[in-house]
Amino acid sequence: MKPEEHIYVHVPFCLKKCLYCSFYSVPYAERAAKDYLKALAAEIKSKVPSGAKPMTVYIGGGTPTALSCRELSKLMQSLQTHFDLSGTEEFTIEANPGTLSMDKIKILKESTVNRISLGIQSFDDMKLEMLGRVHTSAQATKAFTNLQNAGFSNLSIDLIYGVPGDSQTAWQKDLNSTAALRPAHVSTYCLSIEPGTLFSDMLARGELALPDEGLQRRLYEEAVSYLNTKGYDRYELSNFGLPEFCSRHNLAAWRYKPYLGLGPSAVSFDGITRSRNPAVLTDYLEKPAKPEDVEELSPSMQAAEIMMLALRTQEGITAAEFKARSGLDLHETYGSVIEQLIDRALLEEIQRADTTAFRIILVMEKKKVTMNGKHI
């Protein structure tokens, strides 16, 4: 499989840095955006044969919709010119309700984009302000409605729980508001404090009080239970989709498919080697086609990643799939570990078609499990 069958494009611009965000971004500036688009076109031309046919494309950031209408059009034209998108199954772009105008929606609709991931995060204005978002709850609802009216049916909403001051009541309101809109897909993420973020600095200074793990687990459990009653399948630990609306791009990554990353800080993977583009925009502009970090994964590292990613999914992994992806025998590699995890009710065997698959069991109560002398 060719890496260019699954394309990720990183747009590094934001109007404002969210307090929790660890993804690479810089403040939007017209000149920087112009230089970025020029460098991106050069990188695509250098790395990808003309007419390559991706199965999925995902444009993330940063905030892709922070680009101006003219710049957004140029980005779309660049991709449409170089790639053959006639057979692309899923073309996703991330959007922020605060930067998604009707003109930009029109540009996206007239392109080959068929899926929008809307970073709403919450329908509570106080929560949005605390997270550092640039939109309001009203703008979020309006953006979603505008996308629907424009003809987009494959819409995904991002939500964050476990933020300072969060409660089951507040979280239920976010879930209710989401269900009322009836998006095709919902992603729910527990707030994590990443190094280098503003929240990390605040936590170190004692200025941030996070909910305890017990509440975080209850909020997650509520999301799983509630969204299930609304017809959403939890096909991956943090992701829920209506029938036929799972994210194909993300499923490809969880199934250990190669992918090609374009843009500053974007990561590429060919099945053995993982490489990262320069993580600073100025460095990327100088050498857009030269990776900054290259790591060749050993067979054992590949096996571990294959299992880790597969076990995040509801479908799990079969011995045949593990063999096809890693070249190794599942039971020779992880047989004793699998037995121990099954004994501890952390892993289960399920029937999938005419074979057996393994998947994790959703454990809502905190457990301390010892394996090979280590706590896991």
Burial of 317 per CB tally in 10 Å (0-12, 13-18, 19+):
buried
Query: What angle, rounded to 10 degrees, do the helices at 168-181 and 213-229 form?
Result: 30
Which H or E element spans position 300?
A: helix 299-310
Which pLDDT value is given to residue 362? 61
User: Three-state DSSP class for 190?
Assistant: strand
Confidence label for 235 from pLDDT (cuts 50, 70 and 90): very high
Which pLDDT value is given to residue 1? 52
Confidence label for 359 from pLDDT (cuts 50, 70 and 90): confident
Q: Which CATH superfamily is domain 3-254 in?
A: tm_1862 like domain (3.80.30.20)
Which residues 6+ apart lie within 8 Å of 273 measured at CB? 294, 295, 296, 297
260: nearest Cα among 58, 116, 115, 103: 58
List the chain domain ranges.
3-254, 316-376
CA distance 316 to 325: 13
Q: How far is CA 47 from CA 3, 44, 79, 89, 268, in A?
A: 10, 5, 13, 22, 11
Interval 190-220: pLDDT, tens? 999 999 899 999 999 999 889 999 999 999 9
CA distance 322 to 320: 5
- Gap between the terminal Cα atoms of the chain: 34
Helix/strand/coil percent split, the chain, to 5: 40, 25, 35
Local structure of residue 235 (DSSP, 8 states): E
| For the chain, percent of residues with pLDDT exceeding 70 | 95
CA distance 348 to 357: 8
Pairing of strands 273-276, 293-296: antiparallel
Residue 119 has pLDDT above 70, yes or no: yes
361: nearest Cα among 374, 375, 345: 345
Residue 162 has pLDDT above 50, yes or no: yes
CA distance 160 to 180: 17
Long-range contacts of 336-342 (CB under 8 A, 24+ apart): 337/371, 340/371, 341/371
CA distance 60 to 118: 11
Burial of 351 per CB tally in 10 Å (0-12, 13-18, 19+):
exposed
Task: Report whether 257 contacts 249 (CB < 8 A).
Answer: no
Interval 5-61: pLDDT, tens? 999 999 999 999 898 888 999 999 999 999 999 999 999 999 998 889 999 999 999
CA distance 17 to 24: 10
